[in-house]
Structure formats: structure tokens, C-alpha cells
Copies of this chain bind each other. A is one copy, B any other.
Amino acid sequence: MTANPNPTAAMLVIGDEILSGRTRDKNIGTIADFCAELGIELREVRVVPDEIEAIVVALNELRARHTYLFTSGGIGPTHDDITADAVAKAFGVDLPVDARALKAITSRYTNFEMTPARLRMARIPAGGDPIENSVSAAPGIEIGNVFVMAGVPVIFEAMLASIAPKLEGGVKLSSTSVDSYVGEGTLGDELAAIQLSHPGVKIGSYPQFGVGKGPMTQIVMRSADKGALDSATEKVRAMIDRLHRERGIEPEKAGP
């Protein structure tokens, strides 16, 4: 992979259990933090069912469009674990049992019976490499710019830890935030003007409901340009302070 000051990424969550409501996804939040920490911009996330065609289409669209594609789910030993098959199909390569993956799986267990089901977990698409799994031994798959990982959150996180050193990060964004006890409708017009005069800063406004008394809005600013970030933050803070003063709001008493 070549040096890229602005690497981007997509995440593909594979799993009927997320779409059916059986399981609440945790890996989207994890990958968002992981990318932010490395200065990789997470640009899109998709969730697709356990169906080869849907997975292949998403794999090919997302890997073409981004520096990195991370996937979670579908790499276990049961019939519904078809991610490796889909990856091989997306890349147009074979899916042989890999000696390194097999060793990782067998060396973990004593009294181990290599069932056909377990053998499925040792398949790596041709040209790919296993990703180490310190939790349950069965490896993930690295192929091209695609990193195929487990859906079980603790294993997904273990695999991220093992691939992190291989990824090229980019410029890390700094962020600041200012809490406001006036609502978005009150501060919105001035905030838009501050955004307009600070194009290098992404300003987001996040209302919260049901916490403390009265409206609570958090303004979040993110930028790779520390000077622009400080300037925008100062302007937002001054605006919020004035709006509080005008309304007799004492922030330290206003809410949680």
C-alpha cells in the first residue's frame, strides 16, 4: 500500500442476526473509534445478510472505493459462515485450506478432532494471509485492502489489535466540544455563519433530549488544522456564553 495522507475506509457488517434484531451490533462503534485513532476516515458502513451475492456486491463496491475495507461476521465453522466463500468469489480466486491457518487452529487445542466444519475455518482465499486471533485461534483473512474479521466483538477487537500495525494512518483530526443550554433553533443561524467562515473545520450540532432541565445541545468541532479548530471553538464558546448570559442561564447549575 502506498503512502496516502488521507486514507479512507468502509466497514461491512455481515449477519442476519443484526438485520433480524436478534443481536445489537457493537463493531460499528469499535471500528469508528479505531479509524479515528489512526487518522483513517471511516466513510461508510453497510450491513448485509448472510447471502453470497449480497456480500460479493458490497465487497467489490467498497474495496474499490476506499483505502481499506473492514468486515465483521461470518467466519466461523457453521453453514451460515460464508464470508470466506464470498471474498474468494469477489476476488475471483480459489479458497484452499491454508497451512498457517490450519496450524493456528490445531495448535490451540489438545484432544482435537478436525471436523469438516472446523476445517472450513482454515480456508484462506488464494493470495490472502491469516489474521491472528488471540481469543479463539480461528484466523481472520487479509487480502488486498480487505480485512475480514469475526463478528463476536471480543474477537473482532483482538483482530483489530493484530492488524493495526500494518495499516497506514493519516492525519488525525483533533476535536473540541462546547455544551449549550439553549436549543439548536436558537443557536443555529449563528452557528451556520461560524461554519461558513471556517471551511477547514467540520462543525456538528447534537441535541440531547431528556437530560437535565431545558434543551442541551453539544457543538462538536473536528479538524486537522489546529489553528482553525481553536478559532472556531473560541467563536462558538463566545456565542454560547452570550446566549446563556442573555437568558440568565448559569451552565454549572443548568444540568448534568
Contact = CB atoms under 8 A, between A and B. Distances in A.
A185 B113 CA distance: 9
A188 B117 contact: yes
A171 interface: no
A117 B195 CA distance: 14
A45 to B, nearest CB: 4
Nearest to A58: B44
Interface stretch (A86-94, A161-169, A201-209, A225-233): A201-209
Interface residue tally of chain A, by bracket? 35 or more
Contact of A192 (B17, B79, B121): B79
A25 interface: yes
Contact of A115 (B45, B186, B206): B186
A28 interface: yes
A141 interface: no
A204 B21 CA distance: 13
Contacts of A24: 29
Contacts of A116: 188-189
Contacts of A121: 185
A185 B77 contact: yes
A37 B85 CA distance: 32
* Majority-rule SS of A interface residues: mixed
Contacts of A19: 32, 41-45
Nearest to A9: B19
A209 B152 contact: yes
Contacts of A120: 188
A76 B208 CA distance: 12
Nearest to A193: B79
A49 interface: yes
A234 interface: no
A20 B36 CA distance: 6
Contact of A16 (B17, B23, B202, B207): B202
Nearest to A220: B22
A78 B115 contact: no
B152 A192 contact: no
Contact of A21 (B33, B78, B184): B33
Given A25-B29, A44-B46, A152-B209, 8 more contacts: A18-B28, A19-B32, A20-B36, A21-B29, A45-B45, A45-B46, A117-B185, A121-B185
